């Protein structure tokens, strides 16, 4: 039986993780068949590209799960405005110079059919000191300065995916930015150069380039072989709305690239399947799958692992909020999980970590 929205919100309001984790599973499992009527395969033609390469700039959103959850609880619960939470920025042994904040960020290199290239920076992390180091490590800082990156694609407004925007804008203040519908005033203010002292987040490099807010429920083409889809997702710390990317790799099939995938990986794959031409073949996945982000497990998540192979996935690149426990179970189930190297503060080789790459095509 699914978790009702009322029970979910009640769980969040008291500051526990139960409601949060229950939503992560309920929105992703085969229970979708109870609620979602049959739909035909999609016919929206996004074109083709030759290949897609993803470089994990940082998947270490934070370094201590218990600490980040406790910060939210201490502030009043998981529905508290993220901009007024006094996050832990010192004293964490496994953190970055004691700071528990890290960030999520991926560089996506796309080769088009004519041989030309496009680069997308997917999210921009959290801790600017950490992100400065990560961007430099992968050469992204120079790419930004040379205007080689076509856009910053922000999947959602969460602290670990968006608050490191200063690290990007200091190198390229006029970079085109795409955000999903649902951003709050604070999120737009941060782009303009706001400072939020309680949360210890700021941006001293106001954005001067184009900004696009993507509506939900539509396929939004980016360039040949690439598109995005936005979802109206209600998420912890008062965040709403999340978007993901879809690529059509010639001769292979569709590739889904996510940030957290709070909308549920099954929900995302179903939307791709029934919206985009070629949706009957999901060739690969890369990014956070939002299954056991705090390494908790619910039996319904087993249903999810059983459901994923039904999409014909040949390459599964996951990390971040997927959870190491989830990765272990998927490997045991024989799923094509691409392992990492456990470098640059990524803890295990179970999935793609900081500095690792994955190629589709």
Residues 6+ apart with CB under 8 A from 217: 230, 232
pLDDT given for residue 298 in this prediction: 82
Question: In this structure, which long-range contacts are made by residues 1-10, counting pairs with CB atoms below 8 Å and at least 24 apart in sequence?
Answer: 2/26, 2/31, 2/34, 2/35, 9/79
Question: If 0-12 CB within 10 Å is exposed, 13-18 middle and 19+ buried, where does residue 185 land?
Answer: exposed
Q: In the chain, where are the structural domains located?
A: 5-360
pLDDT value for 300: 82
pLDDT band at 83 (very low <50, low <70, confident <90, very high): very high
pLDDT reported for residue 21: 40
Confidence class of residue 282 from pLDDT cuts 50, 70 and 90? Answer: very high
Count helices and strands in the chain by DSSP H and E runs:
12, 15
Q: For the whole model, what pTM was predicted?
A: 0.90
Say which CATH topology domain 5-360 has: Metallo-beta-lactamase; Chain A (3.60.15)
SS (H, E, C) 151-209: EEECCCCCHHHHCCHHHHHCCCCCCCEEEECCCCHHHHHHHHCCEECCCCEECCCCCCC
pLDDT at site 37: 63
pLDDT averaged over every residue in the chain: 89
What is the rounded average pLDDT of the residues 122-141?
98
> Which residue, chain included where needed, has tokens 């979602």?
36
Residue 354 — very low, low, confident or very high, per pLDDT cuts 50/70/90? very high
Phi/psi for 303 (5° steps) reads: -65, -40
Show the tokens assigned to 340: 């990492």
Q: Is the pLDDT of residue 258 over 90?
A: yes
Residue pLDDT, tens place only, 7-40: 333 433 333 333 344 344 334 334 444 445 677 8
Please state, in angstroms and rounded to a whole number, the distance separating the CA atoms of residues 8 and 165: 31
């Amino acid at each position: 039986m699914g978790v009702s929205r009322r029970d979910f919100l009640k769980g969040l309001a008291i500051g526990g993780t139960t409601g949060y984790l229950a939503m992560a599973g309920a929105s992703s499992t085969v229970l979708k068949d109870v609620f979602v009527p049959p739909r035909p395969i999609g016919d929206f033609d996004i074109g083709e590209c030759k290949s897609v390469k993803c470089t994990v700039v940082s998947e270490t959103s934070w370094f201590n799960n218990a600490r980040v959850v406790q910060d939210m609880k201490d502030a009043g619960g998981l529905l508290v405005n993220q901009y007024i939470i006094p996050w832990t920025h010192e004293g964490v042994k496994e953190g970055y110079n004691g700071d528990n904040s890290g960030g999520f960020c991926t560089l996506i290199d796309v080769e088009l059919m004519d041989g030309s290239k496009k680069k997308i920076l997917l999210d921009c992390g959290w801790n600017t000191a950490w992100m400065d180091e990560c961007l430099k490590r992968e050469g992204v800082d120079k790419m930004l300065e040379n205007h080689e990156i076509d856009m910053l694609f922000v999947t959602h407004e969460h602290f670990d995916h968006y608050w490191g925007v200063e690290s990007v804008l200091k190198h390229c203040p006029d970079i085109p930015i795409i955000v999903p519908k649902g951003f709050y005033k604070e999120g737009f203010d941060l782009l303009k150069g706001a400072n939020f002292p309680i949360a210890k987040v700021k941006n001293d490099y106001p954005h001067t380039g184009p900004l696009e807010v993507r509506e939900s429920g539509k396929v939004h083409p980016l360039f040949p072989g690439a598109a995005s889809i936005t979802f109206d997702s209600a998420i912890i710390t008062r965040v709403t709305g999340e978007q993901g990317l879809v690529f059509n790799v010639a001769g292979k099939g569709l590739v889904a690239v996510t940030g957290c995938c709070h909308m549920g990986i099954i929900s995302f794959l179903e939307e791709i399947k029934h919206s985009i031409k070629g949706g009957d073949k999901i060739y690969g996945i890369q990014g956070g799958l939002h299954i056991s982000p705090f390494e908790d497990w619910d039996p319904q998540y087993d249903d999810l692992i059983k459901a994923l192979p039904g999409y014909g996935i040949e390459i599964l690149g996951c990390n971040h909020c997927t959870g190491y426990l989830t990765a272990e179970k998927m490997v045991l189930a024989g799923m094509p999980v691409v392992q990492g190297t456990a470098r640059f503060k990524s803890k295990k080789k179970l999935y793609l970590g900081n500095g690792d790459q994955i190629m589709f095509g």
